[in-house]
């Protein structure tokens, strides 16, 4: 990035930029994102050099060849790289994605430091797609945030929480304190098609169920062991006929929330406000039928929907 230097007297500076407190001051104008930043410090070349180095790039960088080099070169000095893949063609509404991106930019603006490096990329095309493949990010898994840590190899810490700046920062703090785990959840490959009912895996469960339920929607999930088992196929057929927007998952092949609480399989669980399961319907010896599914959803979801409308 080209930097041009200009000099002005305190009198001119006060006229052009009212509100400046104290001189001497260095002003840096950034066209790419944050506007103006100021340095009030002793006139020393070390202070000015450090100030320019910290502010010469956007708070959130897009991928380019220079960025890739900094990420993966052996002598990288960055303590942590916080990488955000905001969207893919299959995920979310535009409004939601804009709000999520705004929260990430807020986090970068408030928390950027010489030890934290914020990036935004895409999984479709170019360098972003190549790096996503290298990191193990699957299509259909976005929006997702990961922290990269350079040790003997690049360690990836995936984040599946809420995309609020405060929640993301809590995850960063957990990583810094050694409490975050550099592992992907146990999961089958992310399915390419949504289907009816939609198949869930360990790496999409949180965003498809918990996050949706926290937004005020109730989400019905069928836990059934063995996707190709006759019983599971029959249950999916009944769920599709019920037209309740159900989803299904094999908890023996995927790490998903709430599975350890189930007393038996198969089982239907309804997630509502707060992203918590509010009711469970066990399969027992009777086949699942359309009427029982509709009645289950109506009984447990309708009172909550009515309450939210008040």
Tell me the pLDDT tens digit for each residue of 189-226.
888 777 788 999 998 888 888 877 777 778 999 999 98
Residues 6 or more apart whose CB falls under 8 angstroms from that of 75 comprise none
Residue 97 lies inside a defined structural domain of this protein: yes
Confidence (pLDDT) at 82: 83
Angle in degrees, CA 43, 44, 48, rounded to 5? 90
Confidence (pLDDT) at 38: 67
249 and 271, same domain (yes or no): yes
109 and 162, same domain (yes or no): yes
Residue 183 lies inside a defined structural domain of this protein: no
Residues 6 or more apart whose CB falls under 8 angstroms from that of 40 comprise 21, 22, 25
User: Residue 61 — φ and ψ, nearest 5°?
Assistant: -90, 145
250 and 264, same domain (yes or no): yes
pLDDT over 80 (residue 64): no
Residue 190 lies inside a defined structural domain of this protein: no
Tell me how many domains the chain contains: 3
Cα pseudo-dihedral 245, 249, 251, 256, rounded to 10: -60
pLDDT over 80 (residue 18): no
Residue 43 lies inside a defined structural domain of this protein: yes
DSSP-derived secondary structure for 49-110: HHHHHHHSS-SEEEP-HHHHHHHH-TT---SEEEEEE---TTSS-HHHHHHHHHHHHHHHHH
100 and 82, same domain (yes or no): yes
Confidence (pLDDT) at 51: 67
CB 212 within 8 A of CB 219: yes
Residue 241 lies inside a defined structural domain of this protein: yes
pLDDT, tens only, 229-239: 999 999 999 99
23 and 73, same domain (yes or no): no
Arithmetic mean of pLDDT over the chain: 77
User: Residue 153 — φ and ψ, nearest 5°?
Assistant: -140, 170
Confidence (pLDDT) at 308: 38
Q: What is the pTM of this model?
A: 0.66
pLDDT level of residue 106 (50, 70, 90 thresholds): confident
302 and 233, same domain (yes or no): yes
Average pLDDT for 11-30: 70
pLDDT, tens only, 223-279: 999 888 999 999 999 999 999 889 999 999 998 877 888 888 899 999 987 778 888
Confidence (pLDDT) at 309: 35
Residue 1 lies inside a defined structural domain of this protein: no
202 and 303, same domain (yes or no): yes
Residue 229 lies inside a defined structural domain of this protein: yes
Which residues span the domain enclosing 130?
A: 60-176
Residue 186 lies inside a defined structural domain of this protein: no
The CATH number of the domain holding residue 109 is 3.40.30.10
Residue 191 exposed, middle or buried by CB count within 10 Å (0-12, 13-18, 19+):
middle
Least confident of 147-156, 207-216, 298-307: 298-307
43 and 98, same domain (yes or no): no
What tokens were used for 209? 């169920």
Residues 6 or more apart whose CB falls under 8 angstroms from that of 198 comprise 208, 246, 247, 248
Measured distance CA(307)–CA(302) in Å, rounded: 9
Q: Which residue has the higher pLDDT, 161 or 40?
A: 161
235 and 254, same domain (yes or no): yes
- Percentage, residues of the chain above pLDDT 70: 75
């Amino acid at each position: 990035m080209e930097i041009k230097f200009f000099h002005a007297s305190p009198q001119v500076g006060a006229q052009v930029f009212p509100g400046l407190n104290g001189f001497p001051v260095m002003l840096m104008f950034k066209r790419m994102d944050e506007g103006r930043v100021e340095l009030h410090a002793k006139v020393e070349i070390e202070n000015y050099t450090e100030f320019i180095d910290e502010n010469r790039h956007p708070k959130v960088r897009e991928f380019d060849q220079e960025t890739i080099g900094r990420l993966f070169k052996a002598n990288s000095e960055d303590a942590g790289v916080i990488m955000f893949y905001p969207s893919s063609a299959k995920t979310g509404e535009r409004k939601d994605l804009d709000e999520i991106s705004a929260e990430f930019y807020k986090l970068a603006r408030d928390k950027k430091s010489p030890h934290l490096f914020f990036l935004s990329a895409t999984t479709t095309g170019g360098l972003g797609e190549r790096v996503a493949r290298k990191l193990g990010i699957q299509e259909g898994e976005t929006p997702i945030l990961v922290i990269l840590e350079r040790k003997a190899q690049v360690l990836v810490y995936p984040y599946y929480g809420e995309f609020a700046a405060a929640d993301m920062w809590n995850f960063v703090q957990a990583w810094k304190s050694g409490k975050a785990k550099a592992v992907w959840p146990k999961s089958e490959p992310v399915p390419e098609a949504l289907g009816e009912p939609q198949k869930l895996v360990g790496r999409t469960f949180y965003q498809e169920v918990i996050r949706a339920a926290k937004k005020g929607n109730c989400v019905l999930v069928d836990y059934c062991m063995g996707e190709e088992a006759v019983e599971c196929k029959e249950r999916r057929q009944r769920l599709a006929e019920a037209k309740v927007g159900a989803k299904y998952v094999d908890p023996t092949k995927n790490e998903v929330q709430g599975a350890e609480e189930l007393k038996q399989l198969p089982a239907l669980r309804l997630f509502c406000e707060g992203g918590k399961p509010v009711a469970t319907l066990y399969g027992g010896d009777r086949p699942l039928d359309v009427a029982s599914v509709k009645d289950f959803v109506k009984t447990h979801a309708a009172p909550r929907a009515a309450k939210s409308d008040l």
